[in-house]
Chain A
Amino acid sequence: MMLLFYLAAAIALISTVAVILQSNVVHALLYLILSLLAVAVIFYTFGAPFAAMLEAIVYAGAIMVLFLFVIMMLNLGKKSVEQERSWLTGKIWIGPVIMAAALLVQLLNVVRQQQAEVAVSQVGVREVGMALFGPYVLAVEIASILLLAGLVGAYHLAKK
């Protein structure tokens, strides 16, 4: 199980880096999907199969499809690839790299100090449902109202 986790984590990290470095938008999106699927595998290995499947269905299966849909509409050709490539020069990298490195050091420090025991417990569909409609029911309702507002707004805009 640990091997599976490290493998999935490595895939997630590498593909996420590839998302940033890719100059072709479609390829970048494919790497992003791969990264999301790897995260789903990580969820699975830590006993949350429901979350894993939702990750695959909602993120990889629905949201990314819509992203790809939008990219199809944009008619990006060779020119945009060239533009992307011109943006990925060394000078631009320096700032973000320093800041990200500082963050990484902080994160490693925190992780090293905490040394929390990772207890793998199965969180099935039933548990997720109980949690969502028990203690977190208010959050679920608020989120659904937000989504409804988005839906109504989209309908209004599309109607125009």
Chain B
Amino acid sequence: MRWEVGSALNIVSILLVVVVIAAMLIWVERRLLGIWQERLGPNRVGPLGLLQVVADMLKIFTKEDWTPPFADKFSFILAPAIIMTVVLMSFSVIPFAPGVGIIDSNIGVLFVLAMASLGAYSVMLGGLSSDNKYALLGSLRAAAQMVSYEVFMGISLLGIVALTGSFNLREIVQAQADGWYVFPQIIGFIIFLIAGVAESHRLPFDIPEAEQEICAGYHTEYSGMKFGMFFVGEYLGLVLISSLITALFFGGWLGPGFLPPIFWFALKASFFVAFFILMRAAIPRPRYDQLMRYGWLFLLPLSLVNLLVTGAVILAGSGG
């Protein structure tokens, strides 16, 4: 275990930047959705509406933070804290640039997967403790969805791990100096993209919180900053998935030398953030059973075949 810089200042600054970016995404998403729907989006507060986030934050902080009397208080308060903690902990292994990052871990990929699987608790506990039928339905859906898609998410990454021979995200990025992994692992990339959207339960896979069917799903009973934590946690998850795709498939910070590495990372990651928002704008939500069937009957065999072929190619290359 090597600490990159390891100082508390480093950790705090990186996490703060990440949280601020996630909060800004609330505005970015609304503006982008507006643009793609031939609207303008929020442009009133501050220049270009940039201070909309501040206004939203003020609103959400001053709202009544209500815990329903019928809720299970312990789990109810714990749930939004889990998602924030888990997603922020996942950011600790993300290699933003050479020398920028919190931990240089040898099990980075596994750590992210572990944190993603723990994130399911937040959604489940939130729904279960609310004692509300819509919340329970939402968390039931969330549990099944997240447990299912974790599987393909993990397997789709194994191709890359086999190619690099390491779970270390920094080594994975450095191994892409000759060529991005998106080309040999295009199937893995597609599966990871879909599973990532499902894992952060964003549209079109926002089945656990489908407004039109089950109110707001697992956070129906939440208000105030507890809801805000779920909300920001979702955007943090979006940033996390984009950063992961950048690091794993698109060469992370690698890029032509006229820009600093961190800029390349940010550029690639923001491209994927915009892509996810475009997905939200364009693609309708599938039905719940369609989602499960698609996952288990299509993505799982595909990811296994991908892993098999990758392994065979590596073996042939090393043997011959």
Chain A contact residues, CB within 8 Å of chain B: 24, 26-27, 30, 33, 49-50, 52-54, 56-57, 60-62, 64-66, 68-69, 71-73, 124-125
Establish whether residues B107 and A60, one from each chain, have CB atoms under 8 Å apart when the complex forms.
no
Establish whether residues A61 and B120, one from each chain, have CB atoms under 8 Å apart when the complex forms.
yes
Chain B binding surface SS class: helix
Bound CA span A53–B116, Å: 12
Question: Known: A33-B121, A50-B107, A68-B128. Contact between A62 and B150, CB under 8 A?
Answer: yes
Q: Least Cβ distance of A109 to chain B in Å?
A: 35
Bound CA span A132–B220, Å: 46
B106 at the binding interface (Cβ < 8 Å): yes
Please give 4 more A-B residue pairs, beta carbons under 8 A apart, in addition to A52-B107, A56-B118, A69-B147: A26-B129, A30-B125, A65-B147, A71-B128
Establish whether residues A56 and B117, one from each chain, have CB atoms under 8 Å apart when the complex forms.
yes
Q: Which residue of A lies closest to B139 (CB)?
A: A72
Contacts of B117 in A (CB 8 A): 56-57, 60-62, 65
Bound CA span A62–B107, Å: 19
Establish whether residues A62 and B147, one from each chain, have CB atoms under 8 Å apart when the complex forms.
yes
Bound CA span A24–B72, Å: 10
| Interface residue from A24, A30, A68 paired with B78 (Cβ < 8 Å) | A30
Establish whether residues B106 and A65, one from each chain, have CB atoms under 8 Å apart when the complex forms.
no
A-B contact pairs, 26 of them (CB 8 A): A26-B75, A27-B75, A33-B121, A49-B107, A50-B107, A50-B110, A53-B111, A53-B113, A57-B110, A57-B114, A57-B154, A61-B114, A61-B116, A62-B117, A64-B121, A65-B120, A65-B124, A68-B121, A68-B124, A69-B143, A69-B144, A72-B124, A72-B136, A72-B139, A72-B143, A73-B140
Establish whether residues A125 and B107, one from each chain, have CB atoms under 8 Å apart when the complex forms.
yes
Contacts of A69 in B (CB 8 A): 124, 140, 143-144, 147
Q: Least Cβ distance of B214 to chain A in Å?
A: 14
Bound CA span A24–B120, Å: 20
Bound CA span A26–B147, Å: 18
Contacts of A27 in B (CB 8 A): 74-75
Q: Which residue of A lies closest to B117 (CB)?
A: A61
Contacts of B72 in A (CB 8 A): 24, 26
| Interface residue from B105, B110, B113, B128 paired with A26 (Cβ < 8 Å) | B128
Bound CA span A53–B115, Å: 9
B230 at the binding interface (Cβ < 8 Å): no
B167 at the binding interface (Cβ < 8 Å): yes
Interface centre among A27, A30, A65 (most CB of B within 10 A): A65
